[in-house]
Structure 1
């Protein structure tokens, strides 16, 4: 996540830790500090919902029909903890360092100047390219900072660790009995389908690999986000970003989400569902494959033929334990 400050600063605190519970009772024993935070969170949710109800009333809607669900999967993210002013001509000026972050552990301080990242200097290269070095950093990567302070430049090399954001499940309001019944039927069908698929995919071994669309690919390399709608014959939720698969060849249906100023769409498919292509990938055990849409600017007018893009694996992470 990147946040802009008043002076066009960008934040590299890539993880906002949110812990939401569908009820006040905890499934696990939490510390007094966590319980206090949860109580504060409940107050914030209640306050926000009062504003939502007021907005619905003003729109003439029946608030008794209000039913909102949030279901966000858990994920691992790097926690660099840097808020930077990217407009400094000499480099990236550190505006703030998040407590408990990697930057704090490396003793990077407010006011420091990051003169280079992974050997690439912002004053001699396109700053977007340099900033992409930070945006595309994943847990397990090694990152190198050249930090200038008090007339001295110090090189700092560190292994980026990840932090885990738990899955978020939140339901607001009550669905009608009919919706509940339909939902129950759908859940039963999905459960039965999953059981069948598990029996079909699981063999003697439970090892697996992962395909992922979680991390944003570097647009400086003409790579853009994608989402997956189908794996083999199985249709899946496009809101999910990672899928465990047994080793072997799999056909993935990938939709492009190209957002490039040189690309103008002339045909309109379903909202936010760009054109799709079926993409075959051979999955190896304990390996993660990050997918992207490679945009061909020279063919940007060939939207109808689909020649303007193709799905690619833009990054591979090996030796990442995976178990079905």
Structure 2
């Protein structure tokens, strides 16, 4: 079963929007035999980088670079995803006065796995780990997190 990804701003080509298929048992008209028929599941959840995270808690904004290995536009702020596990590549946007960016090797991106539940919205951010602020090459200075989750109706259009 393949997951589907849909940007609320409709950036993905239709060929990449994959429908999740569930199988349901249905009694046939000829007797008690049951057959499996596909049922289209249009439920979804949303990931967002739109709202400002609480910097007082060392949580900073992120950009989404890839979802399930598909590159996404730079300025896209939220995406509808089918329920299930998705792999997100995030880029941190930490702007703390104690944090110094240096030229050269810096791991400011990380892969993040998230389990999407139907009718939930997940706000993503970068948790700044101050004690590791000098560990730029290994990326130990930050962790991708879900800093807020809310309930909301979500249904993908076929």
- Pick the TM interval, shorter chain: 0.7 to 0.9
Aligned equivalents of 2:46, 2:13: Cα separation in 1: 17
Counterparts of residues 94-173 of structure 1 (less than 5 Å)? none
- Equivalent residues, number: 132
Matched, 1:280 2:116: no
Query: What residue number does 1:321 align with?
Result: 153
Query: What residue number does 2:131 align with?
Result: 298
Q: Is the 8 A contact 2:47 2:122 kept in 1?
A: yes
Aligned equivalents of 2:15, 2:90: Cα separation in 1: 24
More strand by share: 2
Counterparts of residues 178-217 of structure 1 (less than 5 Å)? 194-198=13-17, 200-203=18-21, 204-217=40-53
Question: What displacement does 1:195 show?
Answer: 1.7
Q: Is the 8 A contact 1:288 1:316 kept in 2?
A: yes
Q: Is the 8 A contact 1:226 1:292 kept in 2?
A: yes
Q: Which has the higher contact order (CA 8 A, sep 6+)?
A: 2
Aligned equivalents of 1:288, 1:278: Cα separation in 2: 19
Aligned equivalents of 2:47, 2:83: Cα separation in 1: 11
Question: What displacement does 1:268 show?
Answer: 5.1
TM-score relative to the length of structure 1: 0.38
SS in 2 for 1:262: coil
Aligned equivalents of 2:119, 2:87: Cα separation in 1: 19
Matched, 1:227 2:60: no
Q: Is the 8 A contact 2:19 2:42 kept in 1?
A: no
Matched, 1:238 2:71: no
**Structure 1: unaligned runs, 5 residues or longer:** 1-72, 75-166, 168-189
More helix by share: 1
SS in 2 for 1:310: strand
Question: What displacement does 1:208 show?
Answer: 0.2
